[in-house]
């Protein structure tokens, strides 16, 4: 086996195992124009998100002054950004993966610059005590959302370039660790701890899949655990959130307010929900019902069945992303493989954290549900990421046909 195949053995299967595992039917399926399972799961999540954002935001939009009392204000904004995301995705799909690889370091530097600009008074916009947005008048962009994609591309490119040095701490791991520390420092200044956790998870997953030493990976896990404890203990705000998560009912009108109402929403939904649009918790009881706690509204209105459908769609999307990555490995395309699996890691980790927060199994964090929650930057970044993933899949299929990618 070549060095490249050994290095990326964790991220996929060999060509022989792929052919024997899929057989003739599997090969025929892979020769379709695109991964239909991936496309349909993403479309269903986007459409379901649009419907539920409208349902969850009607009362908020009607009562808010900046919406002029229009009940459809959030729906129109979400639809606008969804249309913009589809256009951006169509453009991103046209960019070959070799170009994405060349752009990766520059996109990462641009992301760092944007994160720094957010912290400058007069440029960065502050909402609820957090400075995470750059205002362009008619829209606010959140650089941390686009930084997730930049980190996927940069970490994949770095791992491919340093593939022979992945077992060296000084030459392989230390430079990437330094880059992530800079990103983390900027994000924690906003503060945006949730985005920092997702970005660290993306970088670590790509390094591990790219052949990083198991010993160094275990050390990184321990270092992250220690860092998490230090960050929590050094911030009374984070400490309060942690204790509120452990027992929200001890202060249901204080630090446990969001979680307690999210749990009430889940309880009211039971198996089949109270009906679309019939949620009570969205009527100014549950804060951020159309963003961070959209899943709680889904649970109340559509019940256990609705939540199970959402979880199933995300699971299928992530599985397809890793399958596309494995296919790229079999075609000896390591950068594309790591990008696909990095995007899968991104959606998996962020969705898992958001769902865990809504269900009360993780501390409350300001992370949206990918593809579904209200937010222009998130929808744009998610759509572009899906386009890059589909580009990896399309190039895989071209190569399997013997055509140039």
pLDDT at 19: 35
Using CA atoms of 326, 8, 2, 168 in order, give the dihedral in degrees to the nearest 10.
Answer: 180
Rg (CA), the chain: 21
Reported residue count of the chain is 405
Q: Is 402 exposed, middle or buried (0-12, 13-18, 19+ CB in 10 A)?
A: exposed
* φ, ψ at 131 (rounded to 5°): -105, 90
Among residues 307, 305, 299, 298, the alpha carbon closest in space to that of 266 is found at: 299
The pLDDT tens digits along the chain (405 residues) read 444 444 454 554 333 333 333 444 444 444 467 899 999 999 999 999 999 999 999 888 887 766 666 888 999 999 999 999 999 999 999 999 999 999 999 999 999 999 999 998 888 887 777 788 888 777 788 999 999 999 999 999 999 998 887 777 777 788 888 898 899 899 988 888 889 999 999 999 999 898 877 777 787 788 777 877 777 677 676 666 666 677 777 777 777 788 889 999 999 999 999 999 889 999 888 888 999 999 999 999 999 999 999 999 999 999 999 999 999 999 999 999 999 999 999 999 999 999 999 998 888 777 899 999 998 899 999 999 999 999 999 999 999 887 776
Q: What are residue 397's DSSP bridge partners?
A: none
Q: Is 34 left (phi over 0), alpha (psi -120 to 50) or beta?
A: beta
pLDDT at 69: 64
Distance CA 344, CA 149 (A): 11
Where would I find the beta strands (DSSP E) of 313-366? none
Cα torsion angle, 57, 60, 65, 70, sign: positive
Distance CA 124, CA 143 (A): 10
Cα torsion angle, 197, 203, 206, 208, sign: negative
3-class DSSP string for 26-75:
HHHHHCCCCCHHHHHHHHHHHHHHHHHHHHHHHHHHHHCHHHCCCCCHHH
pLDDT at 140: 84
Per-residue pLDDT reduced to its tens digit, 73-124: 999 999 999 999 999 999 999 999 999 999 999 999 999 999 999 998 888 8
Asked if 199 contacts 148 with a C-beta cutoff of 8 angstroms, the reply is yes
Q: What are residue 131's DSSP bridge partners?
A: 126
Among residues 269, 331, 324, the alpha carbon closest in space to that of 296 is found at: 269
């Amino acid at each position: 086996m070549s060095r490249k195949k050994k290095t990326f053995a964790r991220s996929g299967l060999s060509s022989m195992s792929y052919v024997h595992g899929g057989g003739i039917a599997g090969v025929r399926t892979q020769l379709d124009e695109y991964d239909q399972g991936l496309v349909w799961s993403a479309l269903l999540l986007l459409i379901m998100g649009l419907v539920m954002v409208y349902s969850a935001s009607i009362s908020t939009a009607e009562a808010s002054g900046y919406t002029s009392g229009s009940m459809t204000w959030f729906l129109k904004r979400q639809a606008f950004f969804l249309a913009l995301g589809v256009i951006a995705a169509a453009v991103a799909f046209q960019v070959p993966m070799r170009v994405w690889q060349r752009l990766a370091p520059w996109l990462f530097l641009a992301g760092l610059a944007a994160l720094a600009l957010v912290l400058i008074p007069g440029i960065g916009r502050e909402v609820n005590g957090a400075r995470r947005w750059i205002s362009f008048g008619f829209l606010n962009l959140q650089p941390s959302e686009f930084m997730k994609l930049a980190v996927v591309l940069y970490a994949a490119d770095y791992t491919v370039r340093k593939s022979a040095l992945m077992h060296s701490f000084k030459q392989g791991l230390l430079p990437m660790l330094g880059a992530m520390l800079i990103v983390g420092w900027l994000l924690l200044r906003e503060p945006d701890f949730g985005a920092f956790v997702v970005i660290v998870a993306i970088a670590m997953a790509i390094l591990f899949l790219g052949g990083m030493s198991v010993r160094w990976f275990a050390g990184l896990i321990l270092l992250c655990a220690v860092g998490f404890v230090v960050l929590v203990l050094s911030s009374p705000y984070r400490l309060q959130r942690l204790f509120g998560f452990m027992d929200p009912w001890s202060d249901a009108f204080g630090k446990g307010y969001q979680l307690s109402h999210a749990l009430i929403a889940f309880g009211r939904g039971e198996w089949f929900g109270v009906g679309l649009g019939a949620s009570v918790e969205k009527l100014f009881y549950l804060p951020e019902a159309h963003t961070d706690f959209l899943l709680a509204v889904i649970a109340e209105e559509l019940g256990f069945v609705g939540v199970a459908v959402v979880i199933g769609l995300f699971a299928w999307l992530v599985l397809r992303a890793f399958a596309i990555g494995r296919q790229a490995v079999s075609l000896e395309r390591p950068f594309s493989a790591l990008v696909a699996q990095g995007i899968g890691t991104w959606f998996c980790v962020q969705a898992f954290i958001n769902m865990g927060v809504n269900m009360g199994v993780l501390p409350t964090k300001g992370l949206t549900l990918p593809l579904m929650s209200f937010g222009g930057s998130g929808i744009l970044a998610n759509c572009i990421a899906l386009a890059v993933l589909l580009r990896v899949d399309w190039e895989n299929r071209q190569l399997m046909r013997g055509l140039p990618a």
